[in-house]
Each structure stands twice: as C-alpha cells, then as structure tokens.
C-alpha cells in the first residue's frame, strides 16, 4: 500500500467511526479538481475575491525548463467545487509584456486591481531579472489588463529567482527575501519596495538591515500577517542542497526603520525549528482569522515528492506547532506549483506545478487546478 492509499484508508476509517458513533466530525478539508488547457510550473498566481478569478502569469512548460512563458490566464469561478470553473486566455501584445520567466513573484492589491511582478529567470538559470512590472486592470473587469514596467529609484536588489515576496496592500509596500542568482549565489538579504504598484507615487527600493539573520535560501515560502506586520518564512533549500525546516519571522517588516539602532523600531529576524515537515518548492497560504499557515506539496529531504497538507498553528505566537491534514481524496505529488487563498470561503486554490508519479515514477507538467475546502481546519476526535 503506497502513501496515498494509506491516507485514503485512514480518512475512510475515521469517517466511518464518526458515523457509527453518531458524532459530527470536525470540518474535513476536501480536494476538488479541474483540468486546464495546458500544464506549467514555476508560474505565479494571485486571487481576486471580487471577480473570483485566479490570475496566472508565466512559468515554464518543459522538463528542460527552456520554454519559459509570459502569457496571462484567468481561472474563472476559481473557488468553485461544482464544475463551473473555466479558463480564459488574456490576449496581450507580447511586445509590451514582461519577458518570459519562471520562479518570479507576484503580489496583488484587490483595491487598486494591480498585480506586481518581480524578478525570475528567463531560462534555466540565465537570464535572471530584477525588474518590476505592474499589471493594471489585472482581473479584467475594469478594462483591458495592461502591463507597465516600473522604474523604481534607489539601488535595486540583485537579479534573482526562487525568492519570496509579501505585500502590505494598505501601504502599497512589497518585501522581498532570499532567492538565488544566475551564477548560483544564494541570498539572505531583505528588500522593501515602497509605492510598489506605482499608483500613488514613484516606487523606491530600500534594503533592510534587520537585527538578526537567517540562512540564505531559495524555493521557500513566505506569508504576511498584516495585523502584526510580520513576514513568516518557511523551509526552502540552502546552498549546500539541504532542505530546511525552520520558521523565520521578520517583525516590523513594512513599517520598521530600515536600519536598526537604539530606541528605534526596526525589522528583526527570529528563527525557530519545530518538529514537522522540511520542504522546498512547496506553497504556503495564510488565514488571518485562525492565524494558520497552510502548506501543500513540495520536495523533502532525499528528493521525496509530497502531496501532503500541513497546518502551522499560531504562526506568530509562542505556541507554534505543526499538524498534518488528511484531505479526501488526495491530489498529485506536486512541486513548483502555486497556491492562493480565499479567506471568505476558507478555500485554498492550487494550480499546476511539476508532478511525480508515485514511487519514483516519471515527472510531468500538471494542468490541474485543485480547490481545498475547509482549508484552515483539520480532522480531530471530539
């Protein structure tokens, strides 16, 4: 019996046991999926709750990672589990779009309807970018989506891919951490882009100099707690090919003084390792109501591919802990995919990525879009 079958068996036994006792089980995370016109990995995806659309940009389509993309797609009715999802290509003149890329980052402001893209790799490792692009009318409802390359002031970060970015929509500030250069240099620097969308002023790059530091890495994940102004970084791979397990928190991520000195509020890194998964090329989304971070897929130590869901409880508290989730049914063993979260519906939307057939089988590019219902919950025995 393989891992997927074991997960299904455990969940089935739990469901039957609850029914026999006449007891209602806790909310059960459940996967639903729909295929799309073509597979990709290393892309970006943001979710717009107003239009219920997943906005997908770029990525790659081949195992050699030589076929990078700069196309734009909408997944309509993105959070639907009733078969009403549909894909729409967004026709944009490629001469005014960002160059094709993979393993870049994208953040989104639902109020201004602007998506902001930074960095990424145009080939397997070169060229690598440090440019910033803004997509106005990103959800397509306010007019034709339009790309503009921004020209921030200040010294920009070095070109990179496999980094993370989080976004404070209220202050229009993006924070970038980590990644790797085309020459294989791993970064642990942290940067802030103010006026990130260019909607209310000229963007400006500012390098942060937090107290403390964490391991340089790429292929990690990061979420943003707007209430506490904290960036939470998890996992990834370091320069020695170790898959990391730590959870690092950057306090005062967007509001702190860039340079720390006495009696000044500034960004600060703290780092903690918990018993739980160690992953790279996974995804993480954040639920601000429960203060849960939900992690899906990725590759763990020894090159093991995963279809697991883990929840980090109290992401910014002192009682953090990991709990595994056993959704029914189980999705593919997936890495280098994207995930977005619909907080109002408590649904995680996963699209694409590279998929390995269980037990060391072939790798292919996924065209599936998955929706995980009750995403911030986990099975428990009353």
**Nearest residue to 119 via CA among 178, 174, 66, 161:** 161
Report the phi/psi class of residue 205: left, alpha or beta, with left for phi > 0 and alpha for psi in -120 to 50.
beta
Q: Compute the average pLDDT of residues 43-52.
A: 98
Which range is least confidently modeled, 42-56, 64-78, 216-230, 237-251?
64-78
pLDDT exceeds cutoff 80 at 282? yes
Cα 308 from Cα 302, distance rounded (Å): 16
* Residues 6 or more apart whose Cβ sits within 8 Å of residue 140: 51, 53, 74, 90
Q: Mean pLDDT lowest for which of 8-22, 180-194, 203-217, 346-360?
A: 8-22
Domain boundaries in the chain?
3-373
Tell whether the model's pLDDT for residue 34 goes beyond 80: no
- Give me the CATH topology for the region 3-373: Neuraminidase (2.120.10)
pLDDT tens digits along 62-94:
654 458 999 999 999 999 999 899 999 998 887
* Buried b / exposed e along 166-195 (16+ C-beta atoms within 10 A): bbbbeebbbbbbbbbbbeeebbbbbbbbbb
> Which pair of structure tokens corresponds to residue 53?
């659309």
Residue 372's pLDDT is: 95
Instruction: Report residue 136's pLDDT band, with 50, 70 and 90 as the boundaries.
Output: very high
Nearest to 69 by CA among 89, 88, 52: 89
Q: Is the pLDDT score of 379 beyond 70?
A: no
Percent of the chain with pLDDT over 70: 90
β-pairing, 30-35 with 338-342?
Answer: unpaired
pLDDT exceeds 60 at position 25:
no
Cα separation of 292 and 313, whole Å?
Answer: 5
234 closest CA partner among 220, 224, 217: 220
State pTM to two decimals: 0.90
Q: Is the pLDDT of residue 343 over 50?
A: yes
Residue range 141-185, pLDDT digits in tens: 989 999 999 999 999 999 999 999 999 999 999 999 999 999 999
Token pair for 40: 């990709």
Question: Which residue shows structure tokens 């000229």?
Answer: 202
Evaluate whether 40 touches 57 at the Cβ level (below 8 Å): no
User: Both ends of the chain: CA-CA distance in Å?
Assistant: 29
Cβ-based neighbour number of residue 380 at 10 Å? 10
Average of per-residue pLDDT values in the chain: 89
Distance, CA of 97 to CA of 75 (rounded, Å): 20
pLDDT higher than threshold 70 for residue 32: yes
């Amino acid at each position: 019996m393989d891992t997927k079958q074991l997960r299904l068996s455990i969940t089935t036994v739990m469901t039957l046991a609850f029914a026999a006792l006449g007891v209602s089980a806790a909310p059960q995370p459940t996967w639903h999926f729909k295929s799309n016109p073509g597979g990709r990995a290393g892309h970006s995806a943001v979710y717009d709750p107003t239009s219920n659309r997943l906005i997908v940009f770029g990525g790659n389509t081949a195992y050699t990672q030589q076929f990078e993309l700069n196309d734009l797609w909408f997944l309509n009715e993105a959070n639907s589990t009733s078969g009403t999802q549909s894909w729409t290509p967004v026709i944009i003149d490629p001469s005014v779009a960002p160059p094709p890329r993979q393993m870049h980052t994208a953040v989104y402001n639902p109020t201004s309807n602007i998506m902001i893209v930074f960095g990424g790799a145009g080939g397997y490792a070169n060229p690598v970018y440090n440019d910033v692009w803004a997509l106005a009318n990103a959800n397509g409802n306010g007019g034709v989506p339009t790309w503009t390359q921004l020209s921030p002031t200040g010294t920009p970060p070095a070109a990179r891919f496999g980094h993370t970015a989080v976004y404070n929509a209220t202050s229009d500030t993006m924070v970038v951490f980590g990644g790797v250069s085309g020459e294989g240099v791993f970064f642990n620097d942290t940067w802030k882009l103010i006026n990130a969308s260019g909607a209310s002023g000229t963007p400006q790059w500012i390098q942060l100099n937090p107290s403390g530091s964490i391991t340089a890495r790429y292929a990690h994940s990061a979420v943003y707690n707007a209430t506490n102004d904290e960036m939470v970084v998890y996992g990834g791979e370091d320069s020695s090919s170790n898959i990391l397990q730590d959870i690092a928190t950057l306090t005062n991520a967007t509001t702190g003084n860039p340079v720390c000195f006495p009696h000044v509020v500034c960004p600060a890194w703290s780092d903690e390792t918990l018993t739980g998964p160690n992953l790279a090329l996974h995804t993480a989304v954040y639920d601000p109501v429960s203060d849960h971070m939900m992690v899906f897929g990725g590759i763990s130590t020894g090159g093991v591919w995963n279809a697991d869901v883990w929840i980090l409880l109290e992401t910014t508290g002192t009682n953090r802990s990991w709990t595994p989730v056993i959704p029914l049914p189980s999705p593919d063993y997936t890495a280098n995919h994207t995930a977005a979260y619909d907080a109002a519906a408590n649904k995680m939307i996963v699209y694409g990525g590279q998929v390995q057939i269980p037990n060391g089988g072939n790798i292919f590019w996924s065209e599936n879009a998955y929706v995980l219902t009750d995403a911030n919950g986990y099975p428990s025995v009353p």
